[in-house]
Structure 1
Amino acid sequence: MKEIAEKTGVSVSSVSLVLNGRDSGRVKPEIARRVRETAERLGYKPNPLARSLRTSHTRILGFVSEEIATTPFAGGIILGAQNAANAFGYMLITVNTDGEADEAKQIAALKRYGVDGFLYAKMSNRVTDIPRELSDYPTVLVDATDRAGRAPGITPDEQAIGYDATMRLVRAGCRRIAYVGCAKPLVAQTERFAGYRHALADAGLRFDESLAVDVMYHQPAQDAVDRLIGEQRPDGVFCWNDARALYVYQAALKLDLTVGRDLSVVGVDNHRLIAETVVPELTTVELPHYEMGYWAVCKAVTLIEGRKPAANRMARTSAPLPPLDGPDQVKVHCALIEKDSVADGKR
């Protein structure tokens, strides 16, 4: 640092602030740029072990989940978390657990590594209890809400998903809009259905319970959707997720209806194996996996360091990131991805 200070004509303390990412508002941007360029040219690399001994911080975060690491299309959560950790000079250690006993063991192992904080992730927007082993560490929930309301967390704005998808069908001229939901009592099911009904009301359309069906999977689900499309003849369908949209495509095929012309369909997930494979490609709402992982790390860094990360290290994302200094429990307004399954093709 002394060598860098001499070559850039600034103090060692200024160099220290820049190289430790604490220069925002303290060191002029032009000077900070010169310091970073000089450090890179000289091959300067901070020693994490030495820094952790001096600061009592390892700059390591633990990522604990039950299913995320083994769920392909939710891997964006880990990618977002890793990218944010890299941007702020942290390392992310990810563990996948399979029950309470294993979870406690994995958390204990991460603590032995000296992690500064934790991300605790769930699937499908759960209300959950944070393990007591995390009570004395900065912890941020991902795709989950703390039942006790003590820890910050981030989830998709589920009601907005239902509202935006349904209003897309309204704008396409649909007037008999069906809902194919999930038979499990999940937060996402309750909120997306509420958004669907809210959009109908705002559009001046009466809710018709015969146009709503909740299904799980396989033949019983296909049979229920076949009856819905065949007997009720909706002109638009909002599906709880992309997988359920497949049943709508199959039902339309049996009735010689063309999706994107005779029947408009909107799904949720932007599951690439479905949304980009079906013909026509499926208009869908993209769940903010990357955004949730990125924001959660930013929030954890804020809790650990007692300050907001520099704005220039915040990623540009498909959906806007919520503010870090707002409410502890935040929701991401998800992006609608236009494809070809809505009849009028409006954007």
Structure 2
Amino acid sequence: MTTMKEIAEKTGVSVSTVSLVLNKRDAGRVKPDIARRVRQTATDLGYKPNPLARSLRTSKTRILGFISEEVATTPYAGGIILGAQDAASTYGYMLITVSTDGRASEESEIAALKRYGVDGFFYSKMSNRIATVPKSLSDYPVVLVDATDANNALPSVEPDEFRIAFDATSRLIEAGCERIAYIGCSENMIAQDGRLAGYRAALEGTDQGFDESLVCNVLNNGPALRAVNALFDTRNPDGFFCFNDARAWYVYECAARRGLTVGRDISVVGVDNHRVFAETLEPQLTTVELPHYEMGYWAACKLISMIEDKPVDTAKWPRTTSPMPPLDAPIPAKIHCALIEKGSVAR
């Protein structure tokens, strides 16, 4: 491992000068041409800073703690955690992820992360919902991911639920659908409220208008299938916006029982771009992709900016499917999700 002493000997300067340059404290203290030579020599020799020494010097470990409830056991976790990990790595941080299954487990994991000396925390829930952050995190920087602080005081990031529904319903309107149903969720959730509002707003701007009888809020399994089946019989919709891809399956099933072809006789749009449904349904489902990677990446950048008390360099941000909002966006920060065209909307 290359040391500062070796760099000093190579460039003919003191170790203290090398330290000033490599720790970015050389402005006004080291001549620019010398600083450039030190940096180039460090690069040529493959110098890597010692994170332990830096943490002792700055009282910062550059470790971020990710606390999730159920998230780490879902198909969506990979995107959120990968986004947070990529951002952390870009800005010189490490990520430790823990999954909890209740308040006692949560407090135990928080205590463990504190023993590691983490500088800040992510707090994430399974699907977008209101969350109460534990008091044990009150002395740390915290950013919520796919959740909203119950007190609306902490920064958070979530999908733009209203725009998800507005864009999906508008796509069905553009396809010429005249009776567009919403297969929603009967559980009380932020996502359900936002998507129902977006669906309604899109229709209220058309001649067909909003029709409450075309809204079918369900949970799952047999009761959900029977409710969607009854909607086919009573209202004969020709377009369906579904709360998620799983609920779109009920529409496909009911259409098949009637000899209807999805993508020709009826049009369907889901939400999630869930891999299982994307690879199973035929024709493939047009869907709105939730910004899991983007939420994780944005949250990490926000958390790091809070820890360092300065903005991160957003020029390093990757190109993503959905554009990320600025770090100073209003709470909660909302990400406009991408509509992924496949084969389930009639041409």
Distance, in Å, in 2 between the alignment partners of 1:319 and 1:342 is 22
Cα distance change on mapping 1:109 and 1:185 into 2, 3 Å: same
Q: Which residue of 2 aligns with 1:269?
A: 272
Q: Does 1:229 align with 2:240?
A: no
5 Å-filtered alignment, 1:225-304, equals 225-304=228-307
8 Å contact from structure 2 (residues 21, 39) kept in 1: no
Q: Which residue of 2 aligns with 1:161?
A: 164
Q: Does 1:86 align with 2:89?
A: yes
Distance, in Å, in 2 between the alignment partners of 1:148 and 1:137 is 16
Give the residue type in structure 1 aligned to 2:127.
S
| 1:171 Cα deviation after fit | 0.7
Unpaired segments of 5 or more residues in structure 1?
Answer: none
5 Å-filtered alignment, 1:27-38, equals none
Q: 1:187 aligns with which of 185, 190, 194?
A: 190
Distance, in Å, in 2 between the alignment partners of 1:312 and 1:207 is 43
SS at match of 1:111: helix
| 1:38 Cα deviation after fit | 5.0
Cα distance change on mapping 1:95 and 1:218 into 2, 3 Å: same
Q: Does 1:103 align with 2:106?
A: yes
Give the residue type in structure 1 aligned to 2:151.
A
Q: Which residue of 1 aligns with 2:138?
A: 135
Q: 2:22 aligns with which of 15, 40, 44?
A: 15
Q: Does 1:51 align with 2:54?
A: yes
Question: Normalized against structure 1, the TM-score is what?
Answer: 0.91
SS at match of 2:23: helix
8 Å contact from structure 1 (residues 178, 237) kept in 2: yes
8 Å contact from structure 1 (residues 165, 285) kept in 2: yes
% of aligned pairs identical? 62
SS at match of 1:93: strand
Give the residue type in structure 2 aligned to 1:128.
A
| 1:238 Cα deviation after fit | 0.2
Unpaired segments of 5 or more residues in structure 2?
Answer: none
| 1:315 Cα deviation after fit | 2.0
8 Å contact from structure 1 (residues 88, 313) kept in 2: no
8 Å contact from structure 1 (residues 122, 143) kept in 2: yes
State which drifts further: 280-289 or 202-211. Answer: 202-211
Cα distance change on mapping 1:324 and 1:214 into 2, 3 Å: same
Cα shift readout 1:201-243 (whole Å, capped 9, x = no counterpart)? 1223221222110111111111111111233111110000000
Q: Does 1:210 align with 2:248?
A: no
Distance, in Å, in 1 between the alignment partners of 2:248 and 2:42 is 53
Bigger Rg over Cα? 2
SS at match of 1:265: strand
8 Å contact from structure 1 (residues 4, 15) kept in 2: no
CA RMSD of aligned residues (A): 2.4
Q: Which residue of 2 aligns with 1:321?
A: 324
Q: 2:150 aligns with which of 142, 147, 150?
A: 147
